[in-house]
Structure 1
Amino acid sequence: MQSTRTHSTDVQTRPLRIGTRGSRLALAQAHMVRALLAAAEGVPEETHEIVVVSTAGDRILDRPLSEIGGKGLFTEEIEAGLLDGTLDLAVHSAKDMPTKLPDGLILTGYLPREDVRDVLVGRTAPTLAELPAGAVVGTASLRRGALVRHLRPDLSVVSFRGNVQTRLAKLERGEVDATLLALAGLKRLDAAHVATEILSLDDFPPAVGQGAIAVETRTDATALRARLAAILDDNTAVALACERAFLDALDGSCRTPIAGHATVADGQVAFSGLILRPDGSATHAIRVEAPIADAVALGASAGAELKARAGAGFFDPD
C-alpha cells in the first residue's frame, strides 16, 4: 500500500516542501536555504519545492503592524502548514518571529548571520544628519521610528508599510524624504547600492534577530533537523537565543521599540540592549557579557533589568 504524507520523522532522503512568504526578499531567503541544503546533500536544488504562502502581514498594508496584531501576522499561515504536514520546514526573517511559537513547532536554527545594520535611503538628503528640519521619514518599525525621533526630534516620522520594492517605489514617488531598511535584506536582493548611509550600531542598534534567516520545523521532525544541521550556524544560534530571551523578558513585539544585538567570540557572548519611549524622548541601555552557556540567562536578565529601570508605562504611547 502506498504511504501517505504524515508527521513522520523518516525524512532522511525524501524531497522537502519549504514554506515562505511571497516577497522577493522572502523568496531569495528561501532559495538560499534550498541551495545550501541541496549542495550539502549533493542533489539538484529542484529536488526541494518552495511553497509560497500568503500571510496576513503581506495582505494588510493600510495599517501599522502594532494595530493589527504584531509579528505573528507574518508567520501564522506558514506555521499552520507546518502543523498540518503540508510543509516540512519554513524560512523566515528571524526578526519577524514572535518569542512564543505554537505548540509543536521549534526554531531549528539559523543560517550564518548577515550584516545587522540599518541603512538610510535618502531622497532629499543622503544622511540622517543632513535631512532638513521637518523632513518626512517613513518606516513601519516602532524601533526605527523611535530612534529617528531620539536622534532627530525635528523630523516627522510616518507609517510606511510594504515590502522593500514597495517602499522604495513610494520613496521615489516623493511620498517621504527618506526611509530605513535592513542592509542584510538589500544585500540579499543585490540592492545594497540604494543605501545612501549605513547607520552605526552605536547610534542605531538593530532589531532582535536582524540579519538572520530562521528555519522553523515541527518539534517531532528529528531526522529533518539532523539534515538541516549541516547548513545552520552555531554562533548565530547562540546570539539569537540571547537576543530572543531579552525580547521575551520585555514582552517585546511590534508594539514596543526595542533593540538588541549579541555577538559571539572566544567562548563568550556579548550583548547590547536598548529600549526607547515611542516618541524617542527617553532610553535605557545595557551592555553585558557572559560565557556562551549562559546566553539565554544573560539576555533574560538584561531584559529584566531594563524593564525594572524603565518602570510601568514606559512603552505607553503619548
Structure 2
Amino acid sequence: MTASVSTPTRTVRLASRKSQLALVQTYWVKAQLEQHFPHITFEVETMSTQGDKILDVALSKIGDKGLFTKELEVGLLNNTADFAVHSLKDLPTRLPDGLMLGCVTERVEPADALVVHAQHQDKQLATLPPGTVIGTSSLRRLAQLRHHFPHLEFKDIRGNLNTRLQKLDNGEYDAIILAVAGLERLEMSDRIHQVIPGEISLHAVGQGALGIECRDGDQEILDILAALEHAPSKACTLAERSLLRELEGGCQVPIGVNSRIEGDTLTLVGMVASLDGQQLIKNTISGPVEQAEQLGANLAAMLKEQGAGEILAAIFAEINR
C-alpha cells in the first residue's frame, strides 16, 4: 500500500461506541492503520447508541441490530466520521442507503464461551446440575442450550462485559455465556471456562470479526481500509450474512452458523431453532469461495424447505405480542 491515497494533511475520523470492548477494537484498527499510513492522522469519535443506553429491557423486546449501529451510521452520513468500527455480528445485513461494508478484518475465534461462578469450577456445560441458572441475552444461545440441556434454567442478562461478569461473581447467575472473541480482546481469556463446541452452539453471524462501515463509493477511505481486509474472513462472513438476510433474521431470532474454507471450497453450516429449543433444524452447503453470498442464499432456501420459515414466523409473533 502506498502513501498516495491521501495528502499529508489528511485527518481520518473513526466512529466507535463508548463501551470498553468497542474502544479496544477501534483503537486496534487505528493502530494498524497508523502503521500502514504514518502520514495520515487518525482520530476516534465516540458515540452512545440506543443499545448502550437501554439496559433494563431484553434486546428481543426493543428492536433490531441497528440498536448498536444507528448513531454511528448517522455520523457517517453527516460526514462527522469517515468510517465506523463494529463487531460484525452487530451490523445489520441491510445497511442504510449511502453506506457499505468497506472491510472485514481477520476473524478470531468465533465460538461462544461458558464462564462460571467459582462454585462450579469443577463443572462443564454437560455436568452442570439441574436448575443451574445460566445468563444470556442471546436467543440464539438460549434456544440451542435449551435444546441440548433442558434441565438448566436461563435468565436474561444485559450490560457490558464487565457488568455481566460482576453479576456472575455476585451470585446472580451460576454461569453466563459470552463470546470468546470479546474476552480475548479484553485480555480476559482466564475467564473462559469452556469453549462451547459448534455441535452444541453454532455461533452468531459475523462473530469474531470486525466490520468497518463507510460511505458507499468513498474510494479514498476504501483504499485505506483495504490494508486491513482479510479475504477468507470476508468470504465466510458474506456467506453467513447472506444466509441471515434471506431468512430475514436479526440478533433477536435463533439463527446460528459456522463456516470454513478449505482450498477453494467454502463450507457453511446453518441452524434455526424455536425459542423453547424443541425444534432445531440444521443443514450444510459447500461450494466455490467466490460464490459465498449465493451459497448463503441457497442454504437459507434449504432451511426454509425444512420448516425454518414457520419457526421464525412463530418467533416474530411471540416477540411482537
Alignment pair present for 1:212 and 2:195 = no
Paired position in structure 1 for 2:103: 109
Alpha carbons 1:12, 1:224 under 8 Å: kept: no
1:47-196 → structure 2 map (5 Å cutoff): 47-123=41-117, 124-125=119-120, 126-196=123-193
* Aligned-pair CA distance for 1:220: 2.8
* Aligned-pair CA distance for 1:132: 1.1
**Which deviates the most, 126-135 or 151-160?**
126-135
Alpha carbons 2:103, 2:228 under 8 Å: kept: no
Read off the aligned partner of 1:21 and give its amino acid letter: R
Distance (whole Å) between structure 2 residues aligned to residue 224 and residue 267 of structure 1: 29
Using the size of structure 1 for normalisation, the TM-score is: 0.93
Using the size of structure 2 for normalisation, the TM-score is: 0.92
Structure 1's consecutive aligned runs of 4 or more residues displaced over 3 angstroms after TM superposition are 10-13
State percent identity of aligned pairs.
39
* Aligned-pair CA distance for 1:12: 5.4
Q: CA RMSD in A?
A: 1.4
* Aligned-pair CA distance for 1:304: 1.5
* Aligned-pair CA distance for 1:111: 1.0
| Structure 1, unaligned runs of 5 or more | 1-9
* Aligned-pair CA distance for 1:311: 5.2
Distance (whole Å) between structure 2 residues aligned to residue 12 and residue 90 of structure 1: 21
| Structure 2, unaligned runs of 5 or more | none
Distance (whole Å) between structure 1 residues aligned to residue 61 and residue 154 of structure 2: 17
Alpha carbons 2:281, 2:308 under 8 Å: kept: no
- Indicate how the Cα distance of structure 1 residues 286 and 311 shifts in structure 2: closer, same or farther if over 3 A, else same: closer
Read off the aligned partner of 2:144 and give its amino acid letter: L
Alpha carbons 2:133, 2:173 under 8 Å: kept: yes
Distance (whole Å) between structure 2 residues aligned to residue 223 and residue 230 of structure 1: 12
Alpha carbons 2:204, 2:257 under 8 Å: kept: yes
SS in 2 for 1:216: strand
SS in 1 for 2:127: coil
Report the count of equivalent residues. 307
Read off the aligned partner of 2:294 and give its amino acid letter: A
Alignment pair present for 1:32 and 2:24 = no
Alignment pair present for 1:252 and 2:249 = yes
SS in 2 for 1:19: strand
Paired position in structure 2 for 1:240: 237
SS in 1 for 2:187: coil
* Aligned-pair CA distance for 1:43: 4.6
Residue in structure 2 matching 1:266, options 256, 260, 263: 263
